[in-house]
Structure 1
């Protein structure tokens, strides 16, 4: 293996004034003081996306105390913190111009602490610092071209040196004058500004130790609180003093003025333990059915939104640092117009006038009620521990059906069973809790285990009052809840709908675990109004060019065979990629994820795009979607986000998503 080159300054001076394409000579490994700069990809044009680079600095040279990064969770938080510090230093020290002066950037961050690909902090227990380089007394932070052992051919990998180094993955826009190289500006950017950014953001002596420790502690505390929820029979916890309101609908920072700190109703107060053994008090939301009521603008949706984001840890000062929810919590809503593909919606929709079997329901344009029914079943299949619903974003006819409407339309003529009739059985049979916000219907009071009222942003336990109201205004006999939630079939990617083989390997229709999937009516496709149309032979398919074939090879990931000519499922020529937070471009299709309100970072969406390709490659017509998603995510957790890289080196902007969001994205692909 070759050592990093030491002539970066001379090379940049020599390139000055040359054609922009000559920047390609920068590709490779360079000595940068104590650090190493690895240029993985050089932009072809000053207007093209920036060049991709990595910077390695040995853990010992950073000076970061090893006891602060001893656990995996601590290293995740440390990487998130260093990403923010690198971005801040690049803004402060970097040039403010455009293509004339170039620039340095890194993955953007928000209020959540996420596992990211932007900065990798090594395990100090396995880190072996590189041997000191003889020349100039500098330490070598790693060799370019090192091969990762255990990840297979074509994978970016970790050498012994890499194992002992903090690695930053950044973007560098190389300066230009027209389409000529500005060598002197590039010299300043790479040999003065970049080392300064590294010094300020990676050296312990230049960091704020208290801020570093607070960031790590915030994540460790939240993880510790989350782990206690099932042990205490809780699905969520909101600490006393938490600040739930946000600055605005488009800004996730805490409301600067006028926010009312959260105060727990006395009967709901519990104490949980923090990482250091101290305790924190707050409201414990128990398993079962919780209904949140209150007048408009009194804080109901604000509480629910905080619980939605409680699946993530938050940065110090956010106000929600100690607001935690079960990691598997899923927000469910209506999604008018979404696609539904071979989903068992029979717990909520049956007896269609066409006689179609709703255990295998498909439509390219679902109504609000149909889309919410599908989303609910999909969340149950994805093993959600609690569903979060707000009547403002739900389909009324799927949520409730009042006495007058039942009198107008007899039950045998109504295909929809409302959620209020199933929510109790959903918890009793499957252990899936629900938290519902309602202000317009009291129907859920009959089935509520706990009722919380939000009054001027203050939480009150009004369960006793709710039970009194139920006694005063009893539910008619013909509106009693269903005794059973019903069986649902697992969704099995890669199989032929209705084919028994696709439900083989022990995954039959009667399995007791949550699931959705292929059923007995392969030709049925629900219309927007719940009607059914048949797929006509020779008609254009909704798949927009996507093939039914799903190969088992790994194609572009260097893991084996390829599918057709592209190495990607469906014969796509380009890899799936994110377009912002809410969209995945999959071949010629744009997959709309705007209803997945618990996605918080475009880097998660990019990771989901790549995971969808992995799921499609491994689909065999027998394995349920949940198992495929779990297997791919387990590999990512084991090997790191670099396992999703399309090529060696800089893996792109990635952040670890939840299994529930990966599955939800899969279900929204039109097939």
Structure 2
């Protein structure tokens, strides 16, 4: 959990950083002009990957987009679980490399980028993995869970690497490069529906109505309650009205929202807000979850990158 703990809740020894983001595959999600080149290139039919768009992304392209979008707004720790990741995105073993040569494979697997993310961009990764030892070659720390207890087995993992070298080849076609920034178009955040000038409603923790769009947030694991989702919707509306411009990158937009929260509190998001009125129906989201919701709006248009 990335949020403050309540004393005595049993998580006293569970800590993380504020800028940790959960990453997973998300088949079918909306992607709008995201540079996924570090992970995917040379798609069939010459589909662009430096400004990738899809209304129905695959597991691998959605996971690549999720990583690049998180990096775009400043994430410094990525949390991945192989159970919710696209297998072909995570690793290609030596046998598969022999069967499908790199010039026929558009994906640069995460195992070949994870170390570069740390060395070049200062972005760490915590990965839950039980199916591939190829990550031993690039890991700083290896922790084995046994009978619900963690054990540091880094030295053993390094011995295994020395005694049993991997047969797979590193598949990076070039350096990771700089993370592309995008500028969202304010006009694409139309919150009206029918006769209603503003229609924003959190139907559940993972379902947001914004204008005529219903945004599926079920895979944004770090949204934990409906009041956060409600705040996300109103924060997007505020951002479109007062923070977005034809020269303002998405990262500056969501950081502007955080500054707004610090200065004005959450109640100021309510369109009917008065100082003496305390609606009490907002919980503060992080900039990462606000950006994630923006990226999943099917009306989203990126002005330029």
User: Equivalent residue for 1:607?
Assistant: 231
Q: In structure 2, which of residues 285, 295, 302 is the aligned counterpart of residue 667 of structure 1?
A: 295
Q: In structure 1, which of residues 591, 598, 603 is the aligned counterpart of residue 222 of structure 2?
A: 598
Q: 1:174-253 counterparts in 2 under 5 A?
A: none
Q: In structure 2, which of residues 225, 245, 250 is the aligned counterpart of residue 620 of structure 1?
A: 245
1:409 paired with 2:100, answer: yes
Q: Deviations over 1:614-640 (max 9, x none)?
A: 222232222110101111221111111
Q: Deviations over 1:473-517 (max 9, x none)?
A: 2123623667632233112101xxxxxxxxxxxxxxxxxxxxxxx
1:379 paired with 2:70, answer: yes
Residue 341 of structure 1 aligns to a residue whose secondary structure is: strand
User: Equivalent residue for 1:574?
Assistant: 198
Q: Deviations over 1:548-573 (max 9, x none)?
A: 725xxxxxxxxxxxxxxxxx736443
User: Equivalent residue for 1:642?
Assistant: 267
Contact conserved, 2:191 with 2:198, CA < 8 A, in 1? no
User: Equivalent residue for 2:303?
Assistant: none
Q: In structure 1, which of residues 455, 462, 473 is the aligned counterpart of residue 146 of structure 2?
A: 455
Q: 1:388-537 counterparts in 2 under 5 A?
A: 388-476=79-167, 478-479=169-170, 484-494=175-185
Q: 1:70-219 counterparts in 2 under 5 A?
A: none
Once residues 295 and 114 of structure 2 are traced to their aligned partners in structure 1, the CA distance between those partners, rounded to angstroms, is 22
Q: 1:260-339 counterparts in 2 under 5 A?
A: 309=1, 311-339=2-30
Once residues 636 and 386 of structure 1 are traced to their aligned partners in structure 2, the CA distance between those partners, rounded to angstroms, is 23
What is the Cα deviation at residue 342 of structure 1? Answer: 1.1
Once residues 625 and 616 of structure 1 are traced to their aligned partners in structure 2, the CA distance between those partners, rounded to angstroms, is 11
Q: In structure 1, which of residues 631, 639, 661 is the aligned counterpart of residue 256 of structure 2?
A: 631
User: Equivalent residue for 1:131?
Assistant: none
Contact conserved, 1:332 with 1:372, CA < 8 A, in 2? yes
Q: In structure 1, which of residues 568, 586, 593 is the aligned counterpart of residue 210 of structure 2?
A: 586
Output the TM-score relative to the length of structure 2: 0.91
Q: Deviations over 1:6-53 (max 9, x none)?
A: xxxxxxxxxxxxxxxxxxxxxxxxxxxxxxxxxxxxxxxxxxxxxxxx
Q: Closer, same or farther in 2 for the Cα pair 1:361/1:667, shift >3 Å?
A: same
Once residues 215 and 171 of structure 2 are traced to their aligned partners in structure 1, the CA distance between those partners, rounded to angstroms, is 39
User: Equivalent residue for 1:44?
Assistant: none
Residue 33 of structure 2 aligns to a residue whose secondary structure is: strand
Residue 599 of structure 1 aligns to a residue whose secondary structure is: coil
Once residues 181 and 103 of structure 2 are traced to their aligned partners in structure 1, the CA distance between those partners, rounded to angstroms, is 27
What is the Cα deviation at residue 387 of structure 1? Answer: 0.4
Q: Closer, same or farther in 2 for the Cα pair 1:570/1:599, shift >3 Å?
A: closer
What is the Cα deviation at residue 575 of structure 1? Answer: 3.0
Gaps of 5+ in 2: 300-305
Once residues 340 and 623 of structure 1 are traced to their aligned partners in structure 2, the CA distance between those partners, rounded to angstroms, is 19
Q: Deviations over 1:415-451 (max 9, x none)?
A: 1111101000001111000000111111111100110
Once residues 381 and 589 of structure 1 are traced to their aligned partners in structure 2, the CA distance between those partners, rounded to angstroms, is 24
Contact conserved, 1:644 with 1:651, CA < 8 A, in 2? no
What is the Cα deviation at residue 399 of structure 1? Answer: 0.5
Cα RMSD after superposing both structures: 1.7
Contact conserved, 1:607 with 1:654, CA < 8 A, in 2? yes
Once residues 635 and 477 of structure 1 are traced to their aligned partners in structure 2, the CA distance between those partners, rounded to angstroms, is 49
Contact conserved, 2:36 with 2:65, CA < 8 A, in 1? yes
Contact conserved, 1:591 with 1:668, CA < 8 A, in 2? yes
Structure 1's consecutive aligned runs of 4 or more residues displaced over 4 angstroms after TM superposition are 480-483
Q: Closer, same or farther in 2 for the Cα pair 1:549/1:483, shift >3 Å?
A: closer
Residue 450 of structure 1 aligns to a residue whose secondary structure is: coil
Contact conserved, 2:191 with 2:199, CA < 8 A, in 1? no
Once residues 8 and 264 of structure 2 are traced to their aligned partners in structure 1, the CA distance between those partners, rounded to angstroms, is 32
User: Equivalent residue for 2:281?
Assistant: 653
Contact conserved, 1:429 with 1:484, CA < 8 A, in 2? no
Once residues 668 and 549 of structure 1 are traced to their aligned partners in structure 2, the CA distance between those partners, rounded to angstroms, is 16
Output the TM-score relative to the length of structure 1: 0.42
Once residues 354 and 574 of structure 1 are traced to their aligned partners in structure 2, the CA distance between those partners, rounded to angstroms, is 40
Gaps of 5+ in 1: 1-308, 495-547, 551-567
